[in-house]
Structures are given as structure tokens and as C-alpha cells.
């Protein structure tokens, strides 16, 4: 069953409330259909950088490949990276739910040449996730 939940995701930078210079942004609010399955989360979020084939890419710097990646063997590492971020990659705690992140990690660990069958659960993510940071600026 593919349950699509239409969720109001309010991610506007409210300039009036921002303590310092707000980033240049469109204004208003953004509402997108909430991705639910691991495949949906990967396609609508992770793929923006890691690419549809999960092979990443290299320019002046590198977006690491998730395909055939032995660092995904343990669940803790991807959970830490997805929730807390790493380098240019933002942490997704607060933007995605623990369930969404668990689904995405499970999906990547069982696709793209990775074969780590044990699912990552929402509880696994909750255990390792830091609380989301206060408003960015």
C-alpha cells in the first residue's frame, strides 16, 4: 500500500523573526507531498546529491557514492550522517521524520549493490539522532 500523506511542511525562513540576515529565499511556504517509502525518500531527497544511480560525482570536491559502499555495513554510520549531516551535507533531523530517515537508509542499504538486509528502524534512528538545530542563519 502506498500511502501518500499530504503534509504541510512549513520551511519558510520567516525574515521578520530571523535574528540576523536571512538567506536569500523565495518567501512564502513550501508544501510538498511527504515521501513515505525508502524509494520515495531517496528519489525526492537523497538523489539531489547522490544521484539516481547512487554513484555520487566529482567536481572540485566529491559527493560520495552510496552504491557498493562498505561503510553502510553497520547501521550506525549512515544514521549518524543522515541525521546529523557531514561536511556540506545537512543533517535531516527536523526536516525528515525518524521513520522517513529509517526507510531511506534501509532502502540504500538494500539497493545499489549494497546487501545489508537488516532493516533500520525508526527506533534505531531515534537512539542516535541529535535534536535538530535551532533556526539556521
Partner 1 sequence: MDSGARTPTRRQLLSAIAKVGGTAALYQAMTSLGHAAETQFHGPPNLQGARPGASVIVLGAGLAGMLAAYELTKAGYKVKILEFQNRAGGRNWSLRGGDTYTELGGAAQKVGFAPGNYLNPGPWRIPHHHRTLLHYCKQFGVALEPFIQFNHSGWIHSSQAFGGKPVRFNTAAADFEGNIAELLAKSINAKALDDAVTKEDRERLLEALKGWGMLDNDYKYSASLKAAAHRGFERPGGGGVNGAPIPSKDLSSLHDVLDPQVWTSMAFFMGYEMQTTMFQPVGGMDMIGKAFARQVSDLITYGAKVSKIAQDDKGVTVSFTDVATGKASEAKADWCVCTIPLGILGQLDLQVTDQMMAAIKAVPYSGQVKIGLEMKRRFWEEDDFIYGGHSFTDQEIGLISYPNNNMFKDGPAVLLGAFARDLGAYRLSGMTPEQRIEAALAQGSVIHPGSYRKEFVTGASVAWSRVPWSLGCCARWNEETRKEHYQTLVAMDRRIVLAGEHASYVGCWMEGALLSSIDAITRLHKRALEA
What is the binding site for partner 1 (CB under 8 A)? 8-12, 14-16, 18, 20-32, 43-49, 51-52, 57-63, 85-91, 95, 133-137
Between residues 2 and 117, which has the closer beta carbon with respect to partner 1?
2
- Burial class of residue 52, CB neighbours in 10 A (0-12, 13-18, 19+): exposed
The grid cell for 22 is 536571512
Between residues 22 and 126, which has the closer beta carbon with respect to partner 1?
22
Q: Kindly provide the b/e burial profile for residues 89-99, where b requires at least 16 CB atoms within 10 angstroms of the residue's own CB.
A: eebbbeebbbe
CB of 29 to partner 1, least distance (A): 5
The grid cell for 87 is 561536511
CB of 67 to partner 1, least distance (A): 13
CB of 99 to partner 1, least distance (A): 16
Provide the pairing of β-strand 62-63 with 57-58. antiparallel
Strand partners, 89: 86
Between residues 86 and 118, which has the closer beta carbon with respect to partner 1?
86
Between residues 6 and 117, which has the closer beta carbon with respect to partner 1?
6
CB of 117 to partner 1, least distance (A): 26
Report d(CA 68, CA 89) in Å as an integer: 20
Amino acid at each position: 500500500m502506498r500511502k501518500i500523506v499530504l503534509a504541510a511542511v512549513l520551511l519558510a525562513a520567516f525574515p521578520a523573526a530571523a535574528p540576523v540576515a536571512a538567506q536569500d529565499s523565495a518567501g512564502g511556504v513550501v508544501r510538498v507531498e511527504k515521501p513515505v517509502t525508502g524509494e520515495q525518500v531517496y528519489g525526492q531527497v537523497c538523489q539531489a546529491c547522490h544521484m539516481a544511480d547512487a554513484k555520487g560525482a566529482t567536481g572540485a570536491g566529491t559527493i560520495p557514492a552510496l552504491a557498493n559502499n562498505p561503510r553502510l555495513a553497520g547501521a550506525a554510520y549512515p544514521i549518524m550522517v543522515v541525521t546529523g549531516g557531514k561536511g556540506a551535507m545537512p543533517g535531516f533531523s527536523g526536516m525528515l521524520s525518524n521513520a522517513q530517515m529509517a526507510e531511506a537508509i534501509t532502502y540504500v542499504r538494500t539497493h545499489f549493490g549494497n546487501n545489508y538486509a537488516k532493516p533500520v528502524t525508526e527506533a534505531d534512528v531515534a537512539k542516535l539522532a541529535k535534536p535538530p538545530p535551532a533556526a539556521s542563519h
